[in-house]
């Protein structure tokens, strides 16, 4: 249980413009059941941009596991006349075309169209102007639009992830694009860094810092670089988790003896104890509607996951299969619960359908931890181990699509997937 409670502690610093030396490498090992064949023609003029837009789009869609990329040597502007029959005969159900132009103010004007070759219609079109350093984001936004128009669910490529890398004796909190590129170091420390927690708007991060030789919960504004102490009580201050509206944090405090769940305002005011049992309660997570808090407790002997109203009352046990279930994470729509379960000596990722209590194991690794849903609820990122080194893995909620993010040096742990950015 000590390791369980340690994982509930987080620390993060300022988001600085220092690019990390090592980018994450993506390894895809699974695909969806019904892939959509899509052709992506080279965008006219894209060689003048710092990043090749079509390469980013292709990589995003391939990584999702939902698309089969049809390679083409064609370069086509969004104004080109398209022979739909020709593209259909080449096996493409959809076609992406576009262009890139440099504007007088130094920005790049990126335009694109998504075409349905089966129905010979246009499905979408976008025109985006971006500074040179944001051309990658532009590619991700186009991929998001394609994903939404063809899958029917909002894409999550233009989101960010945070994770901790350990290299030697140094811990680094790193923030990157969802594909592991564009990495920035937010904090370097000789002390452990774990469990960063994004605010719902992506502008702040809650964390626990050991810089004063004791765990203290902070909230850091990533825009102004100012931070506020949320919890600095006697004992352990750990496991911050945001409410969906960003008005509250749930934290695990041992100020009264055994670790219990408390609710507190982001500025540290309004502290209110939620749980009060003869067992330990930790790892709080708000439900999607903010009306309940899920948490881990050993009140029945081994750790299990419980749910309790934010107004108090009796806690209800949620997990019943297996004797060791920890690290609850609720899907954005509130219908599923991801967690880590130890069975036959293996720590693996499971997901529970909260509407019918059906459980599914999603991973085939044995040292999984720290699950985190993508903001569209279609994927779960988690930490695992490969070759005695920590890596990050992503799996779709149906278990079909899998890919892994690794780095050449160091262990990677404690992932958290950021929210949609406005």
* 288 touches 306 (CB < 8 A): no
Does the domain at 26-151 match CATH 3.40.50.10070? Answer given as: yes
pTM given for the model: 0.91
Domain ranges of the chain: 2-22+160-417, 26-151
* Structural class in CATH, domain 2-22+160-417: mainly beta
pLDDT in tens, the chain (422 residues): 434 433 332 222 223 333 444 466 777 676 766 899 999 999 999 999 999 999 999 999 999 999 999 988 899 999 999 999 999 999 999 999 999 999 999 999 999 999 999 999 999 999 999 999 999 999 999 999 999 999 999 999 999 998 888 899 898 888 899 999 988 888 788 888 778 899 999 998 888 888 888 888 988 877 777 888 999 999 999 999 999 999 999 999 999 899 999 999 999 999 999 999 889 999 999 999 999 999 999 998 899 999 999 999 999 999 999 999 999 999 999 999 999 999 999 999 999 999 999 999 999 999 999 999 999 999 999 999 987 889 999 999 999 999 888 876 679 999 999 999 87
């Amino acid at each position: 249980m000590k390791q369980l409670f340690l994982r509930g502690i987080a620390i993060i610093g300022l988001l600085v413009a220092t690019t990390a030396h090592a980018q994450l490498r993506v390894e895809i090992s699974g695909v969806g059941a019904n892939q959509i064949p899509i052709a992506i023609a080279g965008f006219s003029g894209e060689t003048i941009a710092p990043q090749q837009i079509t390469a980013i789009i292709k990589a995003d869609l391939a990584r999702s596991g939902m698309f089969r990329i049809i390679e083409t040597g064609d370069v086509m502007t969004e104004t080109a006349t398209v022979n739909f029959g020709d593209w259909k005969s080449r096996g493409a159900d959809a076609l992406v075309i576009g262009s890139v132009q440099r504007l007088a103010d130094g920005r790049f004007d990126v335009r694109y169209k998504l075409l349905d070759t089966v129905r010979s219609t246009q499905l979408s079109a976008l025109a985006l102007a971006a500074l040179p350093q944001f051309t990658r984001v532009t590619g991700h936004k186009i991929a998001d639009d394609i994903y939404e128009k063809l899958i029917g669910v909002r894409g999550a490529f233009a989101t960010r992830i945070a994770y901790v890398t350990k290299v030697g004796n140094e811990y680094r909190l790193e923030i990157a694009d969802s594909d592991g590129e564009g990495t920035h170091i937010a904090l370097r420390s000789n002390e452990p860094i774990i469990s960063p927690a994004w605010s719902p708007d992506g502008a702040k991060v809650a964390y626990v810092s050991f810089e004063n030789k004791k765990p203290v919960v902070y909230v850091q504004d990533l825009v102004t670089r100012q931070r506020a102490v949320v919890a600095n009580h006697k004992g352990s201050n750990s496991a911050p988790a945001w409410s969906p509206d960003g008005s509250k944090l749930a934290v695990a405090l041992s100020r009264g003896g055994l670790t219990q769940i408390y609710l507190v305002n982001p500025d540290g005011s309004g502290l209110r104890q939620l749980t009060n049992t003869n067992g330990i309660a930790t790892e709080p997570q708000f439900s999607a509607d903010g009306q309940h808090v899920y948490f881990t407790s050993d009140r029945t002997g081994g750790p299990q996951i419980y749910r309790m109203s934010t107004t108090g009352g009796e806690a209800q046990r949620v997990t019943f299969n297996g004797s060791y279930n920890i690290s609850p994470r609720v899907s954005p729509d509130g219908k599923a619960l991801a967690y880590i379960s130890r069975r036959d000596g293996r720590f693996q990722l499971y997901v529970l359908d909260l509407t019918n209590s059906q459980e599914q194991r999603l991973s085939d690794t044995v040292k999984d931890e720290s699950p985190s849903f993508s903001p569209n609820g279609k994927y779960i990122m988690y930490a695992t181990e490969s070759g005695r080194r920590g890596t990050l893995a992503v799996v779709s909620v149906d278990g079909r699509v899998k890919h892994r993010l690794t780095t050449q040096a160091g262990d990677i742990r404690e992932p958290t997937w950021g929210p949609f950015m406005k």
